[in-house]
Amino acid sequence: MDLRYSAQHRALQEEARTFIQKHRHLSPKTGGGRKRPDARALDWQKLLLERGYFARNIPREYGGFGRPVDIMELAIIAEEFSNAGVSPGIMNQGISMLVPTLLEVGTKEQCVRWIGPTIRGDIIWCQGYSEPGSGSDLAAAKTSARVEAGQFVINGQKIWTSSAHYADMMFLLCRTEFDKSKHDGLSYLLVPMNAPGIEVRPLVTMTGRAEFNETFFTDVRVPTDQIVMGRGDGWHVANVTLKYERMLLGDANKLTYRLARAVELMKKTTLDGCRFIDIPEYRERLLKLQGEVMASKYHGLRLMTEQAKGEDSGVKRLIVKLNGTMIAYRLSSLVVDVLGAAGLAYEPVGEAAEDDEATTWQIDNMYDIGLIIGGGSSNIQKNIIGERGLGLPREPKSAPPAVRA
């Protein structure tokens, strides 16, 4: 155990603080991220990339900063940005999920072509995974891509495609090998969203906003080289992406940041003249969550250390999503309770919604349930933890629904 900062780490911390002090007026608002980055966000992103506060370990030839991996450096940067309440850069599915996937299993050519514009925020990606008939049973995907005249021709439907209404590209899991078994018949394609035959229909969620969509494919054509790994490797690639998605969804930095906001709010908000932080029942909830956030934070550091050493963290990694999304939900629930009746006025659509603190927390609180379900629901996570992590036997094979007489 060695959590000391070396001289080099202290220098980086100092450098980050100076940078934030000097440039914080340029930072876009934190949070949100459910729309296309505006000019302000793109300029901020460019600045972070130039200074190495974003994509720090991605090779220079792919548009990153090219520093060797040092988990302490990443932790320092995340902490300084989070403490200062300035944006750590763009978070989206392309950056957090597709980019690491390409780095892990993509070709050099694909990395050169896609990573740079993705981390700059110029290309926005959406994820084509779930279908109406295959959600938790993701490998049952029916959307098909048949090869005709050197092109994949895609037909079918995807659902829960967040950001499809403004995305430029989709990473798509679809069936290309029709003579192979369920898991071996899938491929992972990269599809431009402006291709003829794609139709995106917004899907309004419980928040009252259209945060995701249904996406329909009718004879959509893409070149056959727009594939990650080979035909039939889609399930493997999809799971590489899911690994990163689940780490993202359980991110402890988000929990730390959110806890800090909850503490601030409870110090300034009062009930009958008494600060919430002074009311034992509310404070106990906050403190209990603080303990859980701390445990998650150090668990994250432990995983980062193991990752840097090239060790397989096994079940320790598999629990991150289940753990993190549940704590996030309980934190936003506490805040919603602190806001109480004063936080019930709710108009979630439009720019005003983004500026209203109570509305944003109410949206977050419901969106947290979406995150508990998305990326493999908590129930599915528990199957994965039990089966892959703990070596428990799988459920017995399919039980078809009973036929009614």
Partner 1 sequence: MEFGLSEEQVMLAESLGGFLAERLPMGKFRTVAESGSGFDGELWSGLAAQGIMGIMVPEEFGGLGLSLLDAVVAAEALGYHAAPTPFAAALVMAPLALMGSGDRAQQKTWLPRIASGEVRIGLGFAGMSGQTGEAVGRLDGDRLSGRITAVLDGGSATHFMVYLQDGRAALFAAAGEPGVSVTTHRSLDRTRPVTELVLHDARATILGAANDPKAAATAVLDAGRVLLAGDTLGAAQSMFDKALLYSKERVQFNRVIGSFQAVKHTLADIITILEPCRSLVWYAAHAQAGPPAEARLAALQAKAHLGDAGREIARLSTEIHGGMGFTDLLGLHYWFKRIAFNRQLLGAPERCRHEAAIAQEWVS
Closest to partner 1 by CB, 298 vs 346, is 298
Q: Among candidates 191, 163, 189, 193, which has minimal Cα distance to 106? A: 189
User: For partner 1, which residue of 173, 186, 222, 322 counts as binding (CB under 8 A)?
Assistant: 322
User: For partner 1, which residue of 305, 307, 333, 377 counts as binding (CB under 8 A)?
Assistant: 305
From the CB of 298, what's the least distance to partner 1, in Å? 4
The size of the interface with partner 1 (CB under 8 A), counted in residues, is: 52
User: For partner 1, which residue of 267, 268, 344, 346 counts as binding (CB under 8 A)?
Assistant: 267
Closest to partner 1 by CB, 208 vs 389, is 389
User: For partner 1, which residue of 56, 120, 231, 299 counts as binding (CB under 8 A)?
Assistant: 299
For residue 399, what are its two tokens?
């039980």
User: For partner 1, which residue of 68, 150, 196, 291 counts as binding (CB under 8 A)?
Assistant: 291
Q: Which residue in this structure is represented by tokens 């934030």? A: 20
For residue 72, what are its two tokens?
């302490």
User: For partner 1, which residue of 269, 290, 307, 333 counts as binding (CB under 8 A)?
Assistant: 290
**Which residue among the candidates 131, 211, 245, 292 is catalytic per the annotation?**
245
Is position 287 an interface residue for partner 1 (rule: CB under 8 A)?
yes
Q: Which residue in this structure is represented by tokens 């969620």? A: 205
User: For partner 1, which residue of 16, 115, 126, 319 counts as binding (CB under 8 A)?
Assistant: 319
User: For partner 1, which residue of 11, 206, 315, 342 counts as binding (CB under 8 A)?
Assistant: 315
Phi-psi map region of 310: left, alpha, beta (phi>0 left; psi -120 to 50 alpha): left
The CA distance from 197 to 185, in Å, is 23
Instruction: Give helix 71-84 / helix 252-268 axis angle, nearest 10°.
Output: 20
Candidates 107-115, 139-147, 254-262, 298-306: pick the segment binding partner 1 (CB under 8 A). 298-306
The CA distance from 47 to 135, in Å, is 39
Is position 137 an interface residue for partner 1 (rule: CB under 8 A)?
no
Q: Which residue in this structure is represented by tokens 């981390």? A: 119
Q: Among candidates 56, 67, 54, 60, which has minimal Cα distance to 27? A: 54
Q: Which of residues 166-195 bind partner 1 (CB under 8 A)?
A: none
From the CB of 372, what's the least distance to partner 1, in Å? 13
Is position 260 an interface residue for partner 1 (rule: CB under 8 A)?
no
Closest to partner 1 by CB, 68 vs 396, is 396
Query: What pairing do the DSSP bridges indicate for beta strands 198-203 and 212-223?
Result: antiparallel
Rg (CA), the chain: 22
3-class state of residue 332 by DSSP: helix
From the CB of 296, what's the least distance to partner 1, in Å? 5
Beta bridge partners of 169: 125, 192
The CA distance from 80 to 282, in Å, is 28
Candidates 96-104, 182-190, 195-203, 380-388: pick the segment binding partner 1 (CB under 8 A). 380-388
The CA distance from 45 to 37, in Å, is 10
Closest to partner 1 by CB, 115 vs 372, is 372
For residue 252, what are its two tokens?
């402890």
The CA distance from 346 to 334, in Å, is 18
CA atoms within 13 A on the CB side of 305: 10
Is position 391 an interface residue for partner 1 (rule: CB under 8 A)?
yes
Q: Which residue in this structure is represented by tokens 């017995």? A: 396
User: CB–CB of 227/188 below 8 Å?
Assistant: yes
From the CB of 400, what's the least distance to partner 1, in Å? 18
Q: Which of residues 53-72 bind partner 1 (CB under 8 A)?
A: 71-72
The CA distance from 319 to 331, in Å, is 18
Candidates 116-124, 134-142, 354-362, 392-400: pick the segment binding partner 1 (CB under 8 A). 392-400
Binding mask 1-40 for partner 1 (x = CB under 8 A): xxxxxx--x-------------------------------
For this structure, is 245 an active site residue? yes
From the CB of 256, what's the least distance to partner 1, in Å? 13
CB neighbours (10 Å) of residue 192? 14
Binding footprint of partner 1 on the chain (CB under 8 A): 1-6, 9, 71-72, 75, 263, 267, 277-278, 280, 283-284, 287-288, 290-292, 294-296, 298-299, 301-302, 304-306, 315-316, 319, 322-323, 379, 381-383, 385-387, 389-396
Task: Tell me which residues are annotated as active site.
Answer: 245
